[in-house]
């Protein structure tokens, strides 16, 4: 087992126990942090948008064209990812992400 670190929109950092094979969105949601995940992980809504710490960015599988299309629907930074498209494995122990702001 391992953990991920999630900084919420108020700037508070949470350390969450991770489960292998779960989507990072699911881990965050399971621990009760405010992440919407409207479409349930189908890469169809971009409501699980996070910023991935720069040091981790290259260690993730690059986004698919489908994920890029969804990222087009939010205000991104270069380190934007959809957390439903990051499947947690032990290599991602200590992954550091920040919840992206939501629009009105």
**Helix or strand or coil: residue 95?**
strand
Q: How far apart are CA 8 and CA 84, in angstroms?
A: 17
Tell me whether residue 33 or residue 39 sits nearer to another protein (CB atom). Answer: 39
Tell me whether residue 84 or residue 92 sits nearer to another protein (CB atom). Answer: 84
- Residues near another protein (CB under 8 A) are 38-39, 42, 44-47, 68-69, 71-78, 100-104
Minimum CB separation from another protein for residue 79, in Å? Answer: 10
By residue count, the chain amounts to: 104
Torsion angle, alpha carbons of 18, 100, 45, 43, to 10: -40
Minimum CB separation from another protein for residue 82, in Å? Answer: 13
Minimum CB separation from another protein for residue 60, in Å? Answer: 18
Tell me whether residue 73 or residue 89 sits nearer to another protein (CB atom). Answer: 73
The tokens for 42 are 């189908």
DSSP state of 8: -
């Amino acid at each position: 087992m391992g953990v991920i670190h999630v900084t919420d929109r108020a700037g508070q950092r949470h350390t969450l126990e991770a489960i292998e094979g779960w989507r990072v969105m699911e881990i965050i949601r399971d621990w009760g942090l405010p992440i919407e995940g409207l479409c349930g992980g189908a890469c169809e809504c971009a409501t699980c948008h996070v910023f991935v710490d720069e040091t981790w960015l290259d260690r993730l599988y690059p986004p698919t064209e489908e994920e890029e299309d969804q990222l087009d629907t939010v205000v991104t930074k270069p380190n934007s990812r959809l957390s439903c498209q990051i499947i947690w494995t032990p290599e991602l122990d200590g992954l550091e992400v920040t919840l992206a702001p939501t629009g009105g």
